């Protein structure tokens, strides 16, 4: 095998992207727990530790640029580096969404809507992220398609949840005080639902870039 | 912003083959230097030929204008058609052929004569009249005119390496060939001279068909529209649009070679 140092750096990039994936998933887990337990302190932890993720992101972005500038990867190596470059952006965004969830932790009143299982939605989104990262690690095409397909289910759950809340808000039409009260109670819940839907979308992006990386297939990219 | 597919506007042109290899193979004595090769080289585009040392890429290039005729032990089989006519047919005059298919070599090799005489040689072989205008045109096309204007009578050997190579390109294009073959034309040049030659190749492809052998894969990626990859044993393994070859090659062996995992 030639270009040993280059091969080592490619492998190190793969490992670091996977590590970033682990860190982000952990943040999402904590944020969801904070949301479920309405634990403001846990929520704050997610917000305060976001800087670590940003730092990881910048390090990996720099490494991708170095590899492109100094090693001129081509073919499968090029697709790997560019896919990794895109995937770390999705991971960084997911971490940002986790900080949003951390912020809602103390204030999202999901108990007034027992039918909206925001934690279940969160678990499905987290699962999608975990599977996308496994697909990236194992270069698993089938799982990439699976993640995209199952995201429709997450989207449906989110849409139904939003509809439920918005319908109630519409029903209070003409009673501004009631609208105001309901809105103040459920706005965080709505935002949490929207953010979790976006976590699912980022997981699909990761799967799409992984699929492109594996076999130059751009079918899942938008 | 509109982003064109491919590296240059030329990529949008239809591929009209000007050179067609049909089962072309070359032996040097017992050495089967080029396996039967079938490929179409498109007109007015840059085709790069890459591959490891001894893979047959220079052999292929030299067989296009019958430079292998000059090697006693060389034996060529199959056909190499230029504008539909097999250049190995008995009625083809190799000297006349080389006027239409010029060649630029790795090391700049100007004659130890004046700049004007170097270009004039290229015009003479074509039986063209040597006029100041014809000399200027060739030097302009080779992007050398502005650097040598006013000193056409000084020796070609007094130029820098990069200028000498562009002088050789001027000499090669003076007879107004259709195809220019280049065998590692920038490998002896520094990065700035290399950039100038690469820019020149880009310009030349507006009027000529350029086929270039290079050891420098990034150079092939930068300057060519089509890439042919020869691998050990004299086999053409892959031929295609340069961006396809460098982003998603069809063959694992090509992937291994261009990513450096070869051997």
Q: State how far Cα A107 lies from the chain centre.
A: 22
Q: Does position B182 have pLDDT exceeding 60, yes or no?
A: yes
Say if B218 is an interface residue toward chain A (CB within 8 Å).
Answer: yes
Q: Which of A1, A7, A75 is closest, CB to CB, to B248? A: A75
Would you call B123 helix, strand, or coil by DSSP?
helix
From chain B, the residues in CB contact with A1 under 8 A are 261
The answer to whether A194 touches A100, Cβ cutoff 8 Å, is no
pLDDT, position B183: 95
Beta carbons of A73 and B259 less than 8 Å apart:
yes
Domain with residues B16-258, CATH architecture: 3-Layer(aba) Sandwich (3.40)
The residue extents of the domains of chain B are: 16-258
- And the tokens for A83? 């896919």
Beta carbons of B259 and A79 less than 8 Å apart:
no
A86-111 pLDDT per residue, tens: 999 999 999 999 999 999 987 777 67
Q: Does position B5 have pLDDT exceeding 60, yes or no?
A: no
| Domain span including residue A150 | 4-215
CB pairs under 8 A between A and B: 35
Q: Does position B155 have pLDDT exceeding 70, yes or no?
A: yes
User: Residue A220 domain-assigned?
Assistant: no
The answer to whether A222 touches A212, Cβ cutoff 8 Å, is no
| Lowest-confidence segment of A28-32, A198-202, B69-73, B179-183 by average pLDDT | B69-73
Q: Which of A6, A7, A75 is closest, CB to CB, to B249? A: A75
pLDDT, position B150: 93
Count Cβ atoms within 10 A of the Cβ of residue A18 and give its class: 0-12 exposed, 13-18 middle, 19 or more buried. Answer: middle
ipTM over 0.90 threshold: no
pLDDT over 70, % of chain B: 95
Say if B263 is an interface residue toward chain A (CB within 8 Å).
Answer: yes
The answer to whether A49 touches A55, Cβ cutoff 8 Å, is no
pLDDT, position A1: 59
Instruction: List Cβ neighbours of A136 (8 Å cut-off, separation of 6 or more).
Output: A17, A18, A21, A83, A87, A206, A210, A213
Give the CATH number of the domain where residue A158 resides.
Answer: 1.20.58.220
Q: In whole angstroms, what is the distance from residue B25 CA to residue B128 CA?
A: 35
Beta bridge partners, B114, equal B155
The two beta strands, B85-86 and B235-241, are: unpaired
pLDDT, position B9: 64
B207-226 pLDDT per residue, tens: 999 999 999 999 999 999 99
H or E element at residue B197: helix B191-204
Beta carbons of B247 and A73 less than 8 Å apart:
no
User: Residue A222 domain-assigned?
Assistant: no
H or E element at residue A64: helix A50-66
The two beta strands, B226-231 and B17-28, are: unpaired
Say if B262 is an interface residue toward chain A (CB within 8 Å).
Answer: yes
- And the tokens for A161? 């949840």
Q: How many CA atoms lie within 13 A of B175 on its CB side?
A: 22
From chain A, the residues in CB contact with B258 under 8 A are 74-75
User: Residue A71 domain-assigned?
Assistant: yes
User: Residue A56 domain-assigned?
Assistant: yes
The answer to whether A79 touches A213, Cβ cutoff 8 Å, is yes
Q: Closest residue of A to B244, CA-based? A: A75
């Amino acid at each position: 095998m030639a270009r040993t140092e280059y091969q080592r750096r490619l492998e190190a990039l793969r490992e670091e992207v996977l590590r970033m994936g682990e860190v982000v998933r952990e943040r999402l887990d904590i944020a969801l727990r904070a949301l479920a337990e309405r634990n403001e302190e846990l929520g704050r932890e997610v917000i305060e530790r976001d800087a670590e993720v940003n730092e990881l992101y910048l390090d990996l972005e720099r490494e991708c640029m170095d590899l492109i500038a100094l090693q001129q990867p081509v073919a499968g190596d090029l697709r790997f580096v560019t896919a990794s470059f895109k995937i770390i952006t999705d991971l960084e965004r997911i971490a940002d969404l986790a900080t949003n969830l951390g912020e809602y932790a103390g204030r999202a009143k999901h108990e007034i809507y027992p039918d909206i299982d925001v934690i279940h939605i969160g678990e499905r989104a987290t699962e999608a992220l975990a599977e996308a990262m496994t697909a990236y690690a194992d270069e698993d095409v089938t799982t990439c398609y699976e993640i995209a397909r199952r995201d429709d289910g997450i989207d449906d759950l989110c849409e139904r949840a939003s509809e439920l809340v918005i319908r109630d808000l519409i029903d209070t039409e003409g009673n501004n005080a009631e609208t105001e009260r309901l809105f103040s109670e459920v706005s965080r819940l709505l935002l949490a639902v929207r953010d979790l839907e976006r976590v699912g979308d980022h997981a699909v992006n990761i799967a799409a870039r992984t699929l492109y990386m594996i076999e130059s297939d751009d079918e899942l990219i938008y | 912003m509109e982003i064109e597919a491919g590296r240059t506007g030329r990529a949008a042109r239809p591929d009209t083959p000007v050179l067609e290899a049909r089962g072309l193979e070359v032996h040097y004595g017992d050495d089967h230097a080029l396996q039967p090769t079938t490929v179409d080289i498109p007109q007015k585009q840059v085709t790069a030929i890459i591959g490891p040392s001894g893979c047959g890429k220079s052999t292929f290039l030299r067989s296009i204008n019958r430079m292998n005729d000059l090697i006693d032990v060389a034996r060529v089989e199959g056909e190499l058609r230029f504008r539909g006519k097999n250049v190995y047919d008995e009625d083809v005059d190799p000297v006349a052929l080389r006027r239409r298919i010029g060649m630029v070599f790795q090391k700049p090799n100007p004659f130890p004569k004046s700049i004007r005489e170097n270009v004039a040689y290229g015009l003479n072989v074509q039986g063209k009249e040597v006029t100041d205008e014809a000399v200027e045109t060739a030097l302009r096309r080779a992007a050398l005119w502005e650097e040598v204007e006013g000193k056409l009578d000084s020796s070609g050997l007094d130029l820098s390496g990069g200028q000498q190579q562009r002088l050789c390109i001027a000499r090669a294009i003076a007879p107004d060939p259709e195809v220019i073959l280049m065998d590692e034309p920038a490998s002896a040049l520094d990065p700035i001279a290399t950039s100038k030659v690469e820019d020149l190749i880009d310009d030349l492809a507006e009027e000529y068909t350029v086929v270039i052998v290079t050891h420098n894969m990034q150079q092939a990626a930068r300057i060519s529209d089509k890439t042919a990859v020869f691998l050990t044993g004299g086999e053409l393994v892959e031929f295609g649009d340069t961006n396809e070859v460098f982003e998603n090659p069809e063959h694992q062996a090509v992937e291994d070679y261009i990513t450096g995992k070869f051997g």
